[in-house]
Amino acid sequence: MINGLLIDFLQNRLTEAILKSFEGSLTTKDALADIAICLDENFGHYQCNSALKLAKLLKENPKKIAETIISNIDLLEDEKEIFSEIKIAGPGFINLKLNSDFLACVLNKNQFDPKLGIKKIIKPKKIIVEFSSPNIAKELHVGHLRSTIIGDSIARLFEFLGEDVLRLNHVGDWGTQFGMLIHYLKSHQPKIISKEKKADLTTLTTWYKEAKKLFDEDPDFKKKSQLEVINLQAKEKTAIEVWEIIYDVSREAFNEIYNLLDIKITERGESFYNDDLPLIVKDLEKKGLIKESNGAKCVFIEGFKNREGNPLPIMVQKSDGGYNYDTTDIAGFKHRCEVEKADRIIIVTDSGQALHFQMIYPLVVKAKYLDPNKTKFDHVTFGVVLGEDKKKFKTRSGETEKLIDLLYKAVDHSRKILKERLKDLDKKTLDEYAINLGISAIKYADLSNHRIKDYTFSYEKMLSLEGNTAAFLFYSYVRILSIKRKVNENIEKLLKTDEIELKHPSEVSLGFHLIRFAEVLELMARDLLPNRLTDYLYDLATKFNVFFRDCKVMDALEQNSRLLLCHMTQKVLKAGFDILGLKPLDRM
């Protein structure tokens, strides 16, 4: 039976047929079959679109080419017929309908694979996913939600695929703002430094705003703040101690959110690269890449200009000798390639950072810190979260919504819904269910939207049991658990004695969709669009509900086969939930 993805197996089979059909007339590259999923299962499961492309190369009629290809397809695999129907459609598309017994065979094999049919990885790749990345001394707001959720789902995907994943939180923990805050705490809040008084992040954020106001208005405060930046860079004892207090308060607040969202991440802030920054500038100078501009050291990348049409600089050292996040990001790339030996670097930020990385990437390639033949770089961007008024999501008072408040509101909404539906739940279970449903609903609402687009945030829509929501998917999952409880068969025993058979059209449709799980994960790994998986899971839940409507499970002649089909659906749903970071309920 086939190893790897079904679509790859069919591509190989059709490529062999094309080479056999036009031996000597085509290169292996030209003969590679173009296989795509059929949009309508009534016409077939897959479609080969190669005949039209080959018609230009071979200067022949595409329909005639399609007929020749079909006549040379090897139709058997392990003595089983692969196809139930092969038809030519339109000008030369080859529609491939797979035999239900062949599909059942693939599905039964996947039942015993903990990774549900994905390709086996022999040598795991080192994949670095940088996401979330808040600023120290500032509260996480709704804008951080997308980076955190999208980055986590991408990291979870590659972990499931068997890659070696490093999750990095590139926190903003260095620079002028810290000199400002250190001086403010020393002059206005000394009891924080002496540890006689404690502060939370909300208070720290307020003090940060007050410090910024003083910095902008009071020359003496500004001068002393700048001296604190120098003290910090020189690792002067008191400056570092105050910086650590600020860091600890921030970390505690961040961890509350990460724990609620079930996010695992390694903190590696801008300060990690401090010692590398002068060396980076020196190396770029040695390589002849630096030009001075108004006393600052800059690199100019061809093709990037400002609104006036002048070359746009990447400033690697300011005129006062300080560094900025351009320099830190260059150091980050260098470290990840040379020390971490990354095969792929994925950075998740909002679309506003697009130009920054469009300029930094060619610089690190030019400086030979990143070799594109060894390391792939993806900048994963996303749109903004909108309120129901279609404007940037804010509180009623016009403030940007704090992420922690947003999350707890979703939990409260969930609690009300569950209290109404499951009246016998004890408080502990209700609280646990409310967190799982509320947080999952937020994550799914975000991930089910194409990440490039803005999306409208609505508690009511995301917690609805209808439509493409986490609640709808959980309801289908709970339905499977309920079927298994009622039938009360030992699944492990059944797996040894029985197999899935796909006879009814609803069984065939569900079975084929289950096989495609690994294929969808591969697509998501390629384009880093989590909505690929959410769309797949929504279709899976819908197909399962159609199967449940059409095919009796309990006490039917096909009970064991159908129970195993339910079990496989549960496994695929659960694996999908895990990749998206969702926690399903066992009752709804």
Q: Is 176 exposed, middle or buried (0-12, 13-18, 19+ CB in 10 A)?
A: middle
C-alpha dist (Å) from residue 20 to 12, 13, 26, 47, 370 = 12, 11, 10, 19, 42
Q: Are residues 149 and 87 in the same domain?
A: no
Q: Tell me what the pLDDT averaged over the chain comes to.
A: 95
Residue 549 covered by a domain = no
Q: Specify if 462 maps to a domain.
A: no
Which pLDDT value is given to residue 396? 60
Residues 160 and 180 in one domain: no
Q: What are phi and psi of 37, to 5 degrees?
A: -70, 140
Closest CA to 314 of 397, 324, 251: 324
Domain that holds residue 236: 176-263
**Identity of the amino acid at 389:** D
Is 183 found in the same domain as 156? no
3-state secondary structure of 377: strand
Residues 279 and 130 grouped into a single domain: yes
Tens digits of per-residue pLDDT, 225-284? Answer: 989 988 888 889 999 999 999 999 999 999 999 999 999 999 999 999 999 999 999 999
Q: End of a domain among 263, 287, 304?
A: 263
Judge whether 182 lies within some domain. Answer: yes
pLDDT at residue 399, as a whole number: 72
> Which portions of the chain are predicted below pLDDT 70?
395-398
Residue 408: the pLDDT is 96
In 370-426 the beta strands, taken as DSSP E runs, fall at: 376-380, 385-386
Residues 234 and 289 grouped into a single domain: no
What pTM value is reported for the model? 0.95
Report pLDDT digits (tens) over 269-327. 999 999 999 999 999 999 999 999 999 999 999 999 988 889 999 999 999 888 888 99
Q: What is the rounded end-to-end Cα distance, in angstroms, of the chain? A: 39
- Do residues 150 and 85 share a domain? no
Q: Where among 378, 394, 417 does a domain terminate?
A: 378
Query: Tell me, what CATH number does 333's domain have?
Result: 3.40.50.620
Q: How far is CA 536 from CA 341, 350, 515, 571, in A?
A: 33, 25, 11, 14
Would you say residue 499 lies in a domain?
A: no
Same domain, 276 and 373: yes
Give the pLDDT confidence score for residue 407 in this predicted structure: 96
Q: pLDDT digit string (tens) for 139-156?
A: 998 889 999 999 999 999
CATH number for 60: 3.30.1360.70
Helix (H) or strand (E) holding 206: helix 201-217
161/279 same-domain check = yes
357 in a structural domain = yes
Mark which of 79, 98, 117 sits at the end of a domain.
98
DSSP for 219-269 reads: HHHHHHHHHHHHHHHTT-HHHHHHHHHHHHHHHHHHHHHHHHHT---EE--
Q: Answer yes or no: is 545 within a domain.
A: no
Contacts of 539 (CB under 8 A, 6+ apart): 513
Residues 259, 181 within the same domain? yes
Q: Which residue carries 């709804």 as its tokens?
A: 588
- Please indicate, yes or no, whether residues 166 and 180 belong to a single structural domain of this protein: no
Number of domains in the chain: 3
Residues 221 and 276 in one domain: no
Q: What is the pLDDT of residue 253?
A: 95
> In the prediction, which pLDDT does 519 show?
97
Q: Tell me, what's the pLDDT at 395?
A: 63
Rounded CA gap, 255 and 129, in Å?
18
Closest CA to 269 of 308, 351, 325: 325
Q: Are residues 135 and 76 in the same domain?
A: no
Which pLDDT belongs to residue 233?
A: 82
